[in-house]
Amino acid sequence: MLVFNSPLSYLLVGSRIATNAVWLSAGPSDRYTVQFFDQHHSWPDKALVSRGLLQEAASTDPTLQDPLITVLKRDYRIVDLTAPLDVLVRS
């Protein structure tokens, strides 16, 4: 499972952190997370993303777009909007 932009969630779900600190802030540096998953061929089946982060990214300057958000929007679909986090599954 990937948790993006919600550091406390790792403690709540008991998951082990396997990538760089993606919760610090969305931005171009998330290319390292994308690179990690691509190199290890291990994109997670599920992702928890801070509420509205994917929608907010749609209105930002494309040259500053977060590479991780780009992959999440392209390869995942939102299945639950009722929780404090958007719940995504890999398409």
**Rounded average pLDDT per 10-residue block, the chain, 91 residues:** 76 65 70 90 87 70 75 93 87 91
Q: Which two tokens stand for residue 32?
A: 């390292």
> For position 38, what pLDDT does the model report?
93
- The pTM for the full model equals 0.79
Kindly give the residue spans of alpha helices, DSSP state H, lying in 1-91.
Answer: 8-13, 31-40, 53-57, 67-75
The residue type of 62 is P
Cβ proximity of 4 and 56 under 8 Å = no
The residue type of 18 is A
The region, left, alpha or beta by phi > 0 then psi within -120 to 50, assigned to residue 8 is alpha
> For position 74, what pLDDT does the model report?
93
Cβ proximity of 39 and 15 under 8 Å = no
Q: Give the strands of the sheet with 76-80, arranged side by side.
A: 2-4, 46-50, 85-90, 76-80
